[in-house]
Amino acid sequence: MVIFCDINNLNVSLPTASGVVQASRDVSLTIGKGEAHCIAGESGCGKTIVALAIMRLLPKNAITRGKIIFNGTNLFHLSEKEMRDIRGNHIAMVFEQPQSCFNPVYTVGDQLSEAVRIHERCSSSAAREKAITLMTQVNIPDPRKRYDQYPHEYSGGMVQRAMIAMAMALKPALLIADEPTTALDVTTRSHVVSLIKTFVAEFNTALLLITHDLGLAFQLCENISIMYAGRIVESGQIEDIQKMPQHPYTQALMHAFSNDASAPIGGMAPELTKLPTGCPFHPRCKNRMRICHEVEPQVKNGVRCHL
């Protein structure tokens, strides 16, 4: 496997009025060329923060440590101008809050055509047709009419699909998809899933999928990192982890998933400003031992657990 995105001991802290949020703690993961990797975990565990760190779009006051090596370059060392080139040509992101991705003063169609023209030499009318084809591919109804509309005239689900069309126009080496299907109804969801699948296969695009929907992860990814309270607690091939989850948190997630989310994990995830001592999962862990209260476990064979 050729590794081309290597996140190495990423730490992100966000100072807030109620204390420092330790949103990402020693997060390490590698993504190979054309590989699909999922980051999964409950709300607030730090998934989006990792994605924003890769894009260098973290809040201005964020304090980061660690490295993100993309194609041999540490992204943290690039200038803002170089980073814009990365974002325009190499890494595309489908955002959890899609409205922020489009400029409100231009029509969605014009923004898509612009993206097409950055990557292909073509006339504006040819770019328009390509943009309309992309809009059709992502199931935007009446694309010719929608082409001339502004982002605020789109529904949330439609903006989400337009953003996927935008990512497709960029033909990135890495696509980061942060909850790409949450705003979609069931039919559109399965359409978008197969679209992402075809797209990453066609262009050998690597995928970093961020989701709490394990079903989506199973459909799209080969590898997975399970996050809890800012840390990766288990990682490996998705097939292995699905068959035999090792970390009690992964086990609980899998259990909740296989019971159609009707069996939520007991207890609450900790505040990232007030992490418990020892293993951050210990207050919710059925198998906790004395050491779990006291010492934070190291990673052993891909699992961060004392058991």
24 binding Ni ion? (CB under 5 A): no
Q: Tokens 């959890």 label which residue?
A: 96
Residue list 15-34, contact with ligand ATP (CB under 6 A): 16, 21, 23
44 binding ligand ATP? (CB under 6 A): yes
Alpha-carbon span 103 to 254, nearest angstrom: 39
Which of ligand ATP, Ni ion, none does residue 212 bind (CB under 5 to 8 Å by kind)?
ligand ATP
190 binding ligand ATP? (CB under 6 A): no
Backbone phi, psi, residue 89, to 5°:
-120, -20
Task: Order the strands of the 299-300 sheet from edge to edge.
Answer: 91-94, 174-178, 206-211, 36-40, 223-228, 231-237, 303-304, 299-300
Q: Tokens 């390490």 label which residue?
A: 28
28 neighbors 10 (Cβ within 8 angstroms): yes
Residue 34 or 46: the one with the smaller Cβ distance to ligand ATP is 46
- Nearest CA to 6 out of 34, 39, 32 is that of 32
Coil/strand/helix, residue 287: coil
Residue type present at position 53: A
Question: Hey, what are 241's tokens?
Answer: 């982890």
Residue list 74-133, contact with Ni ion (CB under 5 A): 96
213 binding ligand ATP? (CB under 6 A): no
212 binding ligand ATP? (CB under 6 A): yes
* Given 2, 17, 18, 43, the residue binding ligand ATP (CB under 6 A): 43
59 binding ligand ATP? (CB under 6 A): yes
48 binding Ni ion? (CB under 5 A): yes
Binding span for ligand ATP by CB under 6 A among 39-47, 142-150, 185-193, 279-287? 39-47
Residue type present at position 234: E
Which of Ni ion, ligand ATP, none does residue 46 bind (CB under 5 to 8 Å by kind)?
ligand ATP
- Nearest CA to 213 out of 249, 270, 248, 256 is that of 256
Helix axes 80-89, 108-119, angle to 10 degrees: 100
Min dist. Cβ of residue 106 to ligand ATP (A) = 26
Interacting residue ranges for ligand ATP, rule: CB under 6 A: 14, 16, 21, 23, 41, 43-49, 59, 96, 212, 272
Binding residues for Ni ion, per CB under 5 A?
47-48, 96
